Amino acid sequence: MSHGTDRDAFYIDGAWRTPSTDRAFTAINSATEQPIGVFPEADRADVDAAVAAARRALGGHRGWGSAEERAAAMERLALALESRTDALGTLIAQEVGTPLARAIEANVGAATGLLRFYAPLADVMYAEDLRPALVGHSLVRREPVGVVAMIVPWNYPLSTLFFKLAPALAMGCTAVIKPSPATGLDSFLVADAVHEAGFPPGVINFLPAEREVGEYLVTHPGVDKVAFTGSTAAGRRIGALCGELLRPVTLELGGKSAAILLEDAPLPLLLDHLLNLSFNNNGQTCTNNSRLLVPRSRYDEVVDAVTATVAAWPVGDPLDPSTVIGPVVGADHRDRIEGYLRKGREEGARVTTGGGRPPGLDRGFYVEPTVFADVDPSMFVAREESFGPVVTVSAYDGSVEGAVAMANDSAYGLAGSVWTADEALGREVARAVDTGTFSVNHANFDIGAPFGGRRDSGLGSELGAEGIEAYLQYKTIFVTEPPTGDDTQAA
């Protein structure tokens, strides 16, 4: 086995705990279909133990540790993760199929960046806001929301975790983390880093598990908040459970985002960004702009150029530096994408490149990068997420307003972009498209700005300074006299 070894215990309460059952998952190399390692599968008793540990670690209303202690522990964790960069990057590339450089940048780089972004905000917890009231004063406190259940997906297992964990730690919350079984093995390396960083026992706990046990975690009476990234279908279920419990929940779900090319679109610039814009992580990225909306006057030109660009990308082992498109995460996911491709052909969409398995790659979960042309906006492939290396190209007639209307004709609202020589017009288009994030003439992502979706793309925001709000709750204390000195922070 390369990078990643068998594991036989869970990280709970600051130590390695024997599982309550002998059930286990096997991590599979997406490029070879061979086992990478084996790790235990959590059951309800393990969830009970992890939640109890997280509640003990939470302590009182201020959460675990002082602001200085939390910030210092977060920096130690960043360093511990950096020392495991190669092992984590290689393992994630093998699990997910992400080309190695991208696996490192988008996971280890994002995780350490997020820890260092949120650590200085830890002292926000200790700022009480004194406001004059009609009678006396109002003392407004920020307090940690409590124990957070974090359910993270397989496509970016570290970055999607630290979207949640970094602000939660800074605000004094504790965490019970359920990684995806598809990428659960890498979570043990993260747990090693957590242990090395010296967090108090119970602050961070890891439990790879199937969906049924995940639902038990979501509804556990010891959990105060749920943060989830994953499919819209799973998000609806989690949202319904949390709604019944009146439990706060953040949901970052799917997308079917559109890239709008205006009449003056700089086509070479689009092609330079096309990989990161529409095929990032072999298509396994919720923010990918998988719909290209093109003025009819330039339709053939754009289809030909996009097709030639995509057809030239090398497909292969994610550990090979020359690989641009790697395999997808597993056999079931490959089968789902292939069903999507069949549906597109049945609807009458035209495959201009790809559409099957790459020749010569008989092992591994490979799907050719695919372009569908002549796609009507009403087609299944124009409306549903493939979560694979597939884009659709649709023509629009007439005005910019018509292109915006086509972009907005979606159940999703996560990302998008516009391509134009007129940046001012591009910004106007960005304001008009009903989506959570939007780019003008490039593909971008910024941990310093809020990220979230509309409609079927989710509830709430992560990232940016605003990301701490999901892990705070407010208390107002009515006082007749303003506090002075140390009394401001009296328990």
Which residues are identified as catalytic?
252
Find the angle CA(17)-CA(19)-CA(24) to the nearest 5 degrees.
130
- Structure tokens given for 347: 């609807």
Give burial (CB, 10 Å; 0-12/13-18/19+) of 231. middle
Instruction: Kindly state the DSSP code that residue 327 receives in the 8-state scheme.
Output: -
**Residue 445 in tokens:** 């992502």
CA dist 177 and 148 (Å) reads 8
d(CA 254, CA 445): 16
Strand partners, 353: 371
> If residue 310 lies in a helix (H) or strand (E), which one and from where to where?
helix 299-311
What is the Cα gyration radius of the chain?
A: 24
Question: What 3-state DSSP class applies to 251?
Answer: strand
Burial class (CB in 10 A: 0-12, 13-18, 19+), 69: middle
Beta strand pairing call for 174-178 and 204-206: parallel
Nearest-angstrom CA–CA distance, 152 and 190:
14
Q: Is residue 175 a contact partner of residue 203, using CB atoms and an 8 Å limit?
A: yes
Asked whether the beta carbons of 457 and 255 are under 8 A apart, the reply is yes
CB 258 within 8 A of CB 406: yes
User: Which H helix or E strand runs over 370?
Assistant: strand 370-373
Largest CA distance in the chain: 78
What's the token pair of residue 64?
Answer: 């675990």
Nearest to 259 by CA among 31, 444, 105: 444
Do 36 and 183 contact (CB within 8 A), yes or no? Answer: no
Instruction: Count Cβ atoms below 10 Å from residue 156 Cβ, excluding itself.
Output: 27
120: phi then psi, degrees, rounded to nearest 5: -65, -15
| Sequence-separated (6 or more) residues with CB below 8 Å from residue 153 | 160, 180, 229, 230
Contacts of 255 (CB under 8 A, 6+ apart): 286, 287, 288, 385, 412, 413, 414, 415, 453, 457
**Closest alpha carbon to 331 in 29, 38, 25:** 29
Alpha carbon distance 487, 491 (integer Å): 9
